[in-house]
A and B are shown apart, each in its own frame.
Chain A
């Protein structure tokens, strides 16, 4: 079959099974857009800003496990996509970004809408390609999808000079079936010796904790993790990125750990004699001061990425491979040694953890309040959402206090249902990410828990939701301030709220969303909270935006004491430190 470069590119994406492409047209991408118009196997979603395209593709990827695909034009189109690419990179999300580029003969001449996309994106991509000729497009696309989705996943940029997609030059189109990149061989199966060492340490442990993160979700290892713990019955904590990989309602689940982790999760990590890290990378929100981290723990680290192991915390036993496979091998080995598993060994430890939990575990009741003399508490909003959606919704979030309240009080029992920007912490992520999730799962409840700060960073996507009829629910936890910034200013800067309030400049969100054709509900009183939220979720076919005014003085706790604190050093409320 002979095709032009633009058609070769689109047909290659179709061969990769792409259902949605999120993008925004412009000069350098027009040949490609013409090819999109001529086919109907893949739907293009026109966003209102390229950042929205990347987050939507990202949300789609996180929820489905399939790569998200983005198409932008050169220059500003490409640079607007950068924040979303960096977001995907930090959280290891598979994404393909196709950026238009000026024609080859114009590169380097400061042509209209020319920017060095490969150069700008280099530190925030797993890899990138420049198309030199239409003939090479199939191979480049094949390589890009392979790199984005294998090993530790990540975004891959394909920069496409306009002349390589010219409709008047035809080339043979054959899509490669196999891919082999000689310099790229991520580990798949673990080494037997490391598995045996890990099993030996597991059998020895008296105070073990399983610490699972986003890598376990990327590797689709939830079943294996459950299976492993059927044998071991160890306490399990999840990182912010790992929530859902182990059922939150399971008896052994400790909650999230780290900066705003639960008391019992942080105490268990600090006092453990064995930490089994499963696809987690010991980042600074988790370890607090690395030299004070878990002083008596032996570390088993399961990861697909060599450079994540012993980067911050030295691993005693490193197991390289897909964590799904590594867990399977550990399970197999344990099954041959069942007589050596002594559940009594850890009974004292489990008792200790229950005590921690009853001392300072998350309080649910104290935030639920029917009295209109008291302000609405943000934790109550999340609890009501959890109850109304029966814990089954896809929850996207933005960044800040509402994100932490959502992580703490929406108890995720399944992986891929909690969609948030953990690594980069990108405000503006939640709404476009929810669009991507809703397109992937139109019959599922998709909720964006956001704040009045974050939502305004990509609020233009409300228009995209109208165009493609995406009835998501947006819960705006409105404290009329940049809450997390304000919390830090309260705690560390003598309450000087520098640039963290808006001085009565917020829009009327109800009128704003109504002008896009959506439904807006404003809630200001405790007595209206439950019913107001219920009313929102009853409107299945409408995008409903609920603007909930909450206690502006509320802080997120627990909170690790920093700098120079360990995981046992926490603020439990405004007055109490451990």
Chain B
């Protein structure tokens, strides 16, 4: 198993981050590192607007990066579960 980085775009509002973090514990996965920032440079996030057909405003969403060590099947399962969270716009493995 190797360490993977997950890139998660979520609504920047109270309670959104803890839903993602809580899910790791609920489902028995471990978080090895975590970084979160509000998205201010919208140019880097055109793909979110394109994929969801929405318009983002500055600071409206956050970019969360989580590192975790899992196999392929578990990675797919984690991503599906994170994507299911109502406040998450996109969760995917980082290139």
Contact = CB atoms under 8 A, between A and B. Distances in A.
Contact of B11 (A122, A147, A183, A305): A183
B26 A123 contact: yes
B84 A306 contact: yes
B86 interface: yes
A184 interface: yes
A534 interface: no
Interface in B25-56: 26, 52, 54
Contacts of B87: 183
A189 interface: no
Contacts of B88: 183
B83 interface: yes
A183 B18 contact: no
A310 B81 CA distance: 12
B86 A182 contact: no
Contacts of A123: 22, 26
A199 interface: no
Interface string A114-146: 000011001100111010000000000000000
A118 B76 CA distance: 27
A359 interface: no
A365 B63 CA distance: 64
Contact of B86 (A184, A306, A307, A311): A184
A123 B18 CA distance: 11
How many chain B residues sit at the interface, stated as a range, is 20 to 34
How many chain A residues sit at the interface, stated as a range, is 10 to 19
B86 A126 contact: yes
A182 B48 CA distance: 11
B22 A183 contact: no
A275 B7 CA distance: 35
Contact of A122 (B22, B52, B54, B83): B22
A127 B77 CA distance: 19
A310 B18 contact: no
A118 B15 contact: yes
Interface string B66-95: 000000010011001101101111000000
Contact of B89 (A130, A182, A307, A310): A182
A307 B80 contact: yes
Interface in A306-331: 306-307, 310-311
26 contacts: A118-B15, A123-B22, A123-B26, A127-B86, A128-B15, A130-B14, A130-B15, A147-B86, A181-B86, A182-B52, A182-B54, A183-B10, A183-B52, A183-B86, A183-B87, A183-B88, A183-B89, A184-B86, A305-B84, A307-B80, A307-B81, A307-B83, A307-B84, A310-B73, A310-B77, A311-B77
